A = this chain, B = another copy of it.
């Protein structure tokens, strides 16, 4: 409680004094949606990264409240998230669905917390920074209480393309995704494993979750490919595809960047892969020059040695924080066109780790104050 009071007093101080105190401080962090697929990864990541925490509050829906979750050798009890849950919280990591974020993120902000929101609720709000730290970390400081974590498939793509964009410019992106089911939550993981076993046994299995929970029809994912992630929009694109298109432009501050996406769900538990075609601005770009940019880039692991069959795969990328890039080839017809294969753990860099990175950045730069 001493800790709590200190934090509370600190919150009452004007920006600079508060930041000064924060330097010697640890923070009270909350996870909203602590029992979900992403929430669990947030916990693991906080534990691994040793974020300077005074306290950790785990919040969830009423249904999951009371569950016990291990953290650093202790057991934490998950509490029901209410507006009052955010009293004294410095940073709240939200990953409990868009409607929860819409309802509770403003309440958290009202109570002085900075919200890092992993849902799509605020991503395209012009007043909310949409951040992949490797690309636009500086945007965080302009927040008005909420910072949005982009869509999983977008994060890994922009993280891999930013070093190329910086050096050679970027005119156009055409991406086809190979996405894991865990992006649709633990229920989708369960559906994939149960359905796969039924298929191998020659038994029937009625799909109830994928491609989109709550949509009219459900199709089998076991040994199949579903070219639908999220709901269809009037223009024939899915919401996932429009997220990749719109979020990429916002994160890169590049309205004129041409982005096209086709998003496909596959029978893979973890890690999204992406076949990406890019056109760069400069004519003097080469495969070697791109490799050189990527090998030194933060958060990127280059795995690109075809002669030795070295390239990224979803299984190898799982449970790792980096974005893996390989299969870099020059287009055979366009000298400024290149093809890449980008893979990353959709629950880590695609969600939990990127959120924790934003939290670490807020702490490191003392960007708690609303602008």
**Could you tell me which residues of chain A, from 314 to 358, have a CB within 8 Å of some CB in chain B?**
314-315, 326-334, 337, 339, 341
Decide if A216 touches B315 in the complex (CB within 8 Å): no
CB within 8 A of A311: which of B176, B228, B308, B334? B228
Contact (Cβ within 8 A) B217 A339: no
Question: In the bound complex, what is the Cα–Cα distance between A312 and B196 (angstroms)?
Answer: 20
- Are B232 and A332 within 8 A (Cβ)? no
* Given A232-B306, A258-B333: A225 and B277 interface contact (C-beta under 8 Å): no
Q: Are B262 and A232 in contact (CB under 8 A)?
A: no
Known contacts: A197-B200, A227-B341, A262-B341. The answer to whether A220 contacts B315 by CB under 8 A is yes
Interface stretch of the complex, out of A27-35, A51-59, A266-274: A266-274
A223 at the interface (CB under 8 A from B): yes
Expressed in whole angstroms, the minimum distance between the Cβ of A219 and any Cβ of chain B is 6
Residues A232 and B277 in contact, CB atoms below 8 Å apart: no
Q: What chain B residues lie within 8 Å of A245 (beta carbons)?
A: 332
Q: Smallest Cβ distance from A224 to chain B, in angstroms?
A: 4
1/0 contact string of A224-256 vs chain B (CB within 8 Å)? 111110001001110000000100000000000
Contacts of A327 in B (CB 8 A): 227, 236, 262
* A193: Cβ under 8 A from any B Cβ: yes
Asked if A313 is at the interface of the complex by the 8 Å CB criterion, the answer is yes
**Interface footprint category on A:** 35 or more
Label chain A's interface by main secondary structure: mixed
Residues on B with beta carbons closer than 8 Å to the beta carbon of A333: 172, 258-260
Asked if A237 and B308 make an inter-chain contact with CB atoms under 8 angstroms apart, the answer reads no
Residue on B nearest A218 in the bound complex, by CB: B309
List the number of copies, as a whole number: 2
Given contacts A227-B341, A327-B227, A337-B260, contact A307 B267 (CB under 8 A): no
Specify which chain B residues have a CB less than 8 angstroms from the CB of A219 in the assembled complex. 309, 313, 315
CB neighbours of A314 from chain B (8 A): 223-225
Select A309's contact among B228, B259, B262, B267, beta carbons within 8 Å. B228
Q: Which of B196, B260, B264, B328 contacts A236 (CB 8 A)?
A: B328
For A267, give its contact among B174, B237, B267 (CB under 8 Å): B267
Set of chain B residues within 8 Å of A331, measured between Cβ atoms = 260
> Can you name the residue of chain B whose Cβ is closest to the Cβ of A256?
B333
Report the minimum CB–CB distance from A205 to chain B (whole Å).
12
A198-222 toward B: CB 8 Å interface, digit per residue (1/0)? 0010000000000100011101100
A168 close to B (CB within 8 Å): no
Which single member of B228, B277, B315 contacts A174 (CB below 8 Å)? B277
When distances are taken between beta carbons in the complex, the residues of chain B under 8 Å from A330 are 236
Q: Which residues of B contact A329 (CB under 8 A)?
A: 235-237
The verdict on A267 contacting B223 (CB below 8 Å), with A237-B329, A260-B332 known, is yes
Q: Closest 3 CB pairs between A and B? A: A176-B275, A176-B176, A258-B333
